[in-house]
A and B are shown apart, each in its own frame.
Chain A
Amino acid sequence: MGSYSKSEGAKGRVLELDPAIPYLRLQTVPGVRDILPGEAALRRQLEAIIRDTLAAAGYQEVETPVFEYEEVIRAAGGDLQDRMVESGSSEGESPEVYRFFDREGHTLVLRPDMTTPIARLAATRLASAPRPLRLAYVADVFRYEEVHAGRQRQFRQAGVERIGGVREIDADVEVLTLASQLLARLGLSCFRIDVGHAELVRGLLAAGGWGAREARLIRQALRRRDYVLLRELAEQQVDEQGQARTATSQQGQARAGTSQQRQAGTVTGRQANAARRLLLQLPRWRGGLAMLETARQQLAFLLGDFPQLAAALDDLEALLTLTKEAGLEIYERQDGGGAAADGGDSSATDGGDTTSQVIALDLGLVRDLGYYTGPVLEGFAPEMGFTLLTGGRYDRLLEQFGSRAEPATGFAIGLERVMLARERASRSR
């Protein structure tokens, strides 16, 4: 960096910069970069594939402004930081947005994603457009995060939002199928899209009879994949009256007492304990339709009192079945998977690559429970340590813009990450 003459470099004064030129003038800001002709051409190529694929599926491209009022982005609410997190891992505490102010004193932000701006659009200028609304985008988004492990502060997302319309599960199937198709057309021969369900985790949290604060901590532990903490929090068993049976019993009783009130006595001790055991096992619930069947059996006695669990399982079953009918490959584990399959030889064939182009269930997939209301998606390639694709159903967002409540679902892929995955894949051949 900086200007120095080669002869000076040869004398060993390489790091001396020309004091006449401000150091920053020659830098790009950390987290953003210039793209040179070679890479730019590749990006255009991939974007063309994306546009073709999405258009062929009936999605129309829209553009929204690069910056919005902060109130718009806040509409997403819930665990806002979670929605910002693109990769599967929870990155630090609160990913920041880039904020600045206009002359009237309003706070403006650089858009951290496209889903919320498009929801705004759908609720306002496109309010009377026929439903279902199928919108697509290829756009840069901005997040003021720590720059490491492939994270940039400006990156390009491509995705779709399907808004409105009636039969929900068809929308989820359509979106999931399109996501898979898109990754394949972008040249990824090996990937997996995991599917979970927001109501499943919420249902288990309700069934577990925890107080609001504990439930939050548990959700956070799940989100952060801190299974050690999860075990500590969820292992506490309750007695028949749903009172927590711990050494600090007074404290536990006070808390459990409150949660009992909140649950209006619908949680029995037995149910709560079973729900807790299941919650602990949630991260192990990965597989296909066979695993789902096992999960359904294990949850059977809770389904009556907690219909959201039944609905979630039904959703997932329908989603996988219909997706399979649409021609996609569903991951099936040798042993039927899930926590019930202990003992026996459950190791997959080569223990290494368990993906080709498949859809799989991951019941422990937890992404912003305050935001997603149904199936949630997370796509990745085996070569990479981070995710390529996120998505899911978010039925409560549109009403935040004053319009009638509308079901909505969609997904987004990170262009740079897709490029990285392609590169790694070609290198390992």
Chain B
Amino acid sequence: MLTIAVPKGRVFTAAVELFREAGLMAASGVVGEESRRLVIEDEESGFRLLLAKPWDVPTYVEYGAADLGLAGKDVLLERGKAVAELLDLGIGRCRMICAVPAASHITTLTDSELPFPFRVATKYPQIAATFLEHQGIAAEIINLHGSVELAPIVGLADGIIDLTETGRTLQENGLRIVADVVSVTTRLVANAVLHKVKQDEIDQLVDRLEIAVAVRAATRR
């Protein structure tokens, strides 16, 4: 039985769908997210699912409490966890972007346009710092834990670095994208040692998922 740490929410649903397409889970029936239980043992598929917060998935995997995990690339980049990254599942797709108020005169991230210091509010201080350094921009990073769009509205920050999927939240809060930071998807990660101990099971899982992901990519075109 493999233990997989999965984030609650949309990724959970998308993941179950993918697992079904890969023939890893029963084609129907609810893999219960309805109850308040945090551990779901699915005898039939042979998985034990741990429902964790997205930020915590890599921690469970790193400590070996879970063999595998479904972690967003944003979390992996931000936290730099020591886990093996096995596969890009192609779900949970979104972009990390830099946005400023629509009314701002800033159009691109070039020094001349930016105020000094350029205050950026973000949930991802590491990613933001690395990105801005690469751009050669001196910035002050303000670490917030949610509703980052609020910061520029009340003048706490000049811009934000945050995830966006459709762009609607940004638009509704009067923000305009000025740069792309990185594209994000959910990855299958594994504990480095358990990956070796349970190699056959995990390799088989990866193979099947890889096929399902490829099929999806092909049919999308």
Contacts and interface: CB of A to CB of B under 8 A. Distances in A.
Contacts of A382: 194, 197
B199 A387 contact: no
A226 B85 contact: yes
Contact of B196 (A90, A194, A333, A353): A194
Contacts of A93: 80
B187 interface: yes
30 contacts: A87-B193, A89-B62, A89-B82, A90-B82, A93-B80, A148-B62, A149-B63, A194-B196, A225-B83, A225-B85, A227-B84, A227-B85, A227-B87, A228-B86, A229-B85, A346-B203, A347-B201, A347-B204, A348-B200, A351-B198, A352-B1, A352-B198, A354-B199, A362-B196, A380-B196, A384-B193, A385-B63, A385-B64, A386-B64, A386-B192
Contacts of B122: none
Interface string A333-349: 10000000010001110
A355 B65 CA distance: 19
Interface string A62-106: 000000000000000000000000011111110000000000000
Given A90-B82, A386-B64, A228 B196 contact: no
B17 interface: no
Q: How large is the interface on B (under 10, 10 to 19, 20 to 34, 35 or more residues)?
A: 20 to 34
Interface string B171-193: 00000000000000001000111
Q: How large is the interface on A (under 10, 10 to 19, 20 to 34, 35 or more residues)?
A: 35 or more
Nearest to A365: B196
Nearest to A221: B85
A43 interface: no
B88 interface: yes
A87 B204 contact: no
Contacts of A224: 85
Which interface residue of B1, B83, B196 has the most chain A CB atoms within 10 A? B196
A286 interface: yes
User: SS class of chain A's interface: helix, strand, loop or mixed?
Assistant: loop
Contact of B85 (A228, A352, A355, A362): A228
A228 B87 contact: yes
Interface string A138-157: 00000000001100000000
Given A354-B197, A354-B199, 15 more contacts: A88-B196, A91-B82, A148-B62, A225-B85, A225-B195, A346-B204, A347-B200, A351-B198, A353-B197, A355-B197, A384-B64, A385-B64, A385-B193, A385-B194, A386-B193
Interface in A172-202: 192, 194
A355 B84 CA distance: 20
B196 A286 contact: yes
A296 interface: no
Contact of A351 (B85, B192, B195, B201): B201
Interface string A274-288: 000000000010100
